[in-house]
Each structure stands twice: as structure tokens, then as C-alpha cells.
């Protein structure tokens, strides 16, 4: 978050921000407590936010717990990333029906993307997820083959980021240089402060964000407000649940393709693909083609896929990567090494979701550390 110009918004005035985001029929999405997790859902007022709740996360473990204070953003990350909004698991590519005027009496129609293109505001985006959105923008918008559904969903989005003051046991965004404070890619950035007065530091990161900020009942941040924000960020960095020395990782992984650790992790990995589903940057897809029961209509749909499925690498004659060992190696070396060659950045943003939601508790930072011989430090967690 830029320290050049900071404003302070009282918690009592937070609904003014929500109403401003919703102007013109814009859909406001943010964190909500639902089904035992902090998920993404509609937000119409501050009352919809998970006030007084936090998340406890470790390898293979996720629990929501009550907090001792009334923080609205006092958690790390939920199982859903914003990929579920901007790049959903299913997207129609085209549909066709018999009886049309097209070739062979079949009419093929492009999908109606009006619902996908609905204006949205994303409220409560963590800095790790900001980095993930930036990566998906580069992959899905910045290359010659643009994903049309993603482009429609991304076209009119307001991003309101929030500094993460309470990292989980599986978080390592500070290692990856993606957090815990927002740096770029947002319209507004908030830092929630609870030291006596419940308030938010607010900074604008775009002209649209500046216009929103000008309409809010704020005051100029004082030195005490700035110091409190800086202390929160420093405390968050100190409380990261994981740490990884990223510098040597890309080259070292390329030199460790026959390391015996791949056999060790393969003996534990279920090849379930959970890590790729919760990952905010994974973008692999497949295509499904379906027809109705009488063969009068058909549709082609883009769906999420995973490099952990044997069929993902299938070509004539069989799958290229037939073993769990080869599939895990493909995922990890792509995420942490060859992704840098392709896109100029690792494919990991340090959110820790793959560690939390792995059913057998495989820890990316531990596996990378073992493979490259790097020291992986898991500091003592402090009470939150």
C-alpha cells in the first residue's frame, strides 16, 4: 500500500464504501462465513462480513474459530480464490442446435456473455490473491490467444484489497514477495486497525479508486495511524507460518529431476488434484462436449482440469505422465521453475492453500526445501 496519501475511514462508515461500490447495479463480492469456511459471496453491508471470526490452518487442516475482537478481516485466506469469480470452473464456449439455417441445418451460437461481463467489485482481496490475478491477467489476457470469458469478467472490475494482518500457519507470501500488504493491482487498499478505534487506512491505487476515495467520509491519516499500519504489516511478516528461500529454487529444481524425493512424495500423494483446484494461479483446462438425449442440441464447455489426472497428458497411445511421481514433478517444477521461463514470475504466490487443502498434508515448502537442499524455517507461531 502506498504511504504517499493515506486516509482513515471509520468502521461506522464502512457501509458508505459498500454502497459506493454497489452503485449502478455493480455486484459486490467479499468474504462471508458460510458452510464452516470463509467463502466468497454477495456483500450488501458490513454485517455480511465474517466479523469476529478467524481461520486456523495447518497442513491438511482448516477450522474457523471465533476471535477475541470484532475484526471483519481477521483471517488469512479461504478455500476459494478470486479465480472462482474471474475464471470459473465451467464456461460455455458455444452451443448448437438442429433446425437452424447454418451448414447441414445446424445453427451454432456464441455464448451470451452479458452475465459474465456484469460489473463487479471484489472486496477484501489479499495481496497474494492480487498477485495471482496479475498472473492470470498475463496468461489469459496478455497473449495472442485471449480467453474470451475471462476478458468479459475482468473488463469492469473494481478491486478493493485488504492488508493481511493475521497470516495462517500455511502462509508464506512474504517469502514470495507478494505480501502481506497490497502493492499494485488494486483500486483501493484497506488496512484494518483495532487499536482502540476500529478504523481503516485507505489508499487509492488507480484513478477510479481515487474517485471512490474522494466520495468517502474520511480524514487524513495521522502519524499514529501510519505507525499502527506499519506495525501491523511487520507483525504479519513475523508471524508467517512458512518461509522459503526462493532465489535458488528455479535452477535447483531443474537440476533435481531425478532426486529420490520425488519417489517419497509420490508414495504420499493421492493425485487428487485438490492443490490445483484451490491454487489461485492454475489455469489448465479441458473441453467437454455434450448433447441432449435426442441429439438435437450440443454444447462445448471449457472446464478446469489438473495436471494430476492421467488423462491430462494423454496423446495417441496413452498418457505421457503415467505415474504419480511424474505428475507431481510436472506440477511442482512448472509452478516453481519453468513458469518463470514462460511468464517471468513463479506460479506460486505463497497463499498456502495447497498445503491446507491437501488431504494428506503435503507441504510445498517442505518438498521444495528437500529437493533443493534449502533451509525451510517454520517459526514459532504467536497467538492471534
Nearest C-alpha neighbor of 81 from the set 362, 384, 350: 350
pLDDT (tens place) for every residue of the chain, 384 residues total: 555 689 999 999 999 999 999 999 999 999 999 999 999 999 999 999 999 999 999 999 999 999 999 999 999 999 999 999 999 999 999 999 987 665 567 888 999 999 999 999 999 999 999 999 999 999 999 989 999 999 999 999 999 999 999 999 999 999 999 999 999 999 999 999 999 899 999 999 999 999 999 999 999 999 999 999 999 999 999 999 999 999 999 999 999 999 999 999 999 999 999 999 999 999 999 999 999 998 889 999 999 999 999 888 888 888 889 999 999 999 999 999 999 988 889 999 999 999 999 999 999 999 999 998 843 444 433 433
pLDDT per position as a tens digit, 107-164: 889 999 999 999 999 999 999 999 999 999 999 999 899 999 999 999 999 999 999 9
Domain that holds residue 121: 7-88+112-238
Specify if 252 maps to a domain: no
Specify if 55 maps to a domain: yes
Specify if 329 maps to a domain: no
Spatial distance between the Cα atoms of 343 and 242, rounded to a whole number of angstroms: 25
Specify if 156 maps to a domain: yes
Percent of the chain with pLDDT over 90: 84
Specify if 220 maps to a domain: yes
Contact of 328 with 270, CB cutoff 8 Å: no
The three three-digit cell numbers of residue 244, written as one number: 522459503
Question: 157 - beta bridge partners?
Answer: 120
Q: How many domains does the chain have?
A: 1
Question: Regarding beta strands 120-125 and 157-162, do their DSSP bridges make them parallel or antiparallel, or are they unpaired?
Answer: parallel
Spatial distance between the Cα atoms of 286 and 263, rounded to a whole number of angstroms: 28
Specify if 268 maps to a domain: no
Specify if 15 maps to a domain: yes
Instruction: Give, for 134, the enclosing helix (H) or strand (E).
Output: helix 127-140
The three three-digit cell numbers of residue 65, written as one number: 474459530
Specify if 162 maps to a domain: yes
pTM: 0.92
Please provide residue 78's backbone torsions phi and psi, each rounded to the nearest 5 degrees. -90, 180
Amino acid at each position: 500500500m502506498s504511504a504517499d496519501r493515506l486516509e482513515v475511514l471509520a468502521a461506522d462508515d464502512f457501509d458508505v464504501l459498500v454502497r459506493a461500490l454497489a452503485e449502478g447495479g455493480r455486484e459486490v463480492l467479499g468474504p462471508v462465513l458460510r458452510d464452516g469456511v470463509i467463502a466468497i459471496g454477495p456483500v450488501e453491508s458490513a454485517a455480511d462480513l465474517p466479523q469476529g471470526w478467524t481461520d486456523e490452518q495447518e497442513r491438511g487442516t482448516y477450522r474457523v474459530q471465533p476471535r477475541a475482537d470484532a475484526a471483519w478481516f481477521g483471517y488469512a485466506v479461504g478455500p476459494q480464490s478470486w479465480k472462482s469469480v474471474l475464471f470459473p470452473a465451467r464456461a460455455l464456449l458455444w452451443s448448437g442446435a438442429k433446425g437452424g439455417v447454418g451448414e447441414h441445418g445446424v445453427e451454432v451460437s456464441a455464448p451470451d456473455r452479458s452475465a459474465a461481463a456484469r460489473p463487479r467489485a471484489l472486496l477484501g482481496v489479499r495481496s497474494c490473491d492480487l498477485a495471482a490475478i496479475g498472473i492470470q491477467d498475463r496468461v489469459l489476457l496478455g497473449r495472442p490467444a485471449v480467453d474470451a470469458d475471462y476478458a468479459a469478467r475482468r473488463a469492469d472490475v473494481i478491486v478493493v484489497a485488504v492488508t493481511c494482518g493475521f497470516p495462517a500457519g500455511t502462509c508464506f507470501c512474504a517469502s514470495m514477495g507478494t505480501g502481506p500488504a497490497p502493492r499494485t493491482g488494486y483500486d483501493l487498499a484497506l488496512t484494518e486497525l483495532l487499536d482502540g478505534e476500529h478504523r481503516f487506512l485507505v489508499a487509492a491505487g488507480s484513478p477510479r479508486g481515487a474517485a471512490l476515495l474522494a466520495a468517502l467520509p474520511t480524514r487524513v491519516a495521522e502519524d499514529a495511524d501510519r505507525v499502527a499500519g506499519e506495525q501491523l504489516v511487520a507483525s504479519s511478516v513475523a508471524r508467517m507460518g512458512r518461509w522459503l528461500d526462493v532465489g535458488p529454487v528455479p535452477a535447483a529444481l531443474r537440476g533435481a529431476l531425478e532426486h529420490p524425493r520425488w519417489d517419497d512424495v509420490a508414495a504420499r500423494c493421492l493425485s487428487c488434484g485438490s492443490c490445483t483446484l484451490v491454487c489461485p494461479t492454475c489455469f489448465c483446462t479441458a473441453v467437454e462436449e455434450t448433447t441432449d438425449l435426442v441429439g438435437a442440441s450440443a454444447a462445448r464447455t471449457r472446464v478446469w482440469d489438473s495436471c494430476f489426472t492421467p488423462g491430462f497428458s494423454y496423446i495417441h497411445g496413452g498418457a505421457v505422465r503415467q505415474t504419480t511421481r511424474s505428475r507431481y514433478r510436472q506440477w511442482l517444477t512448472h509452478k516453481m521453475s519453468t513458469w518463470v521461463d514462460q511468464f517471468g514470475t513463479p506460479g506460486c504466490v505463497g497463499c498456502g492453500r495447497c498445503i491446507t487443502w491437501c488431504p494428506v498434508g503435503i507441504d510445498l515448502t517442505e518438498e521444495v526445501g528437500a529437493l533443493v537442499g534449502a533451509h525451510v524455517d517454520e517459526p514459532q507461531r504467536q497467538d492471534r
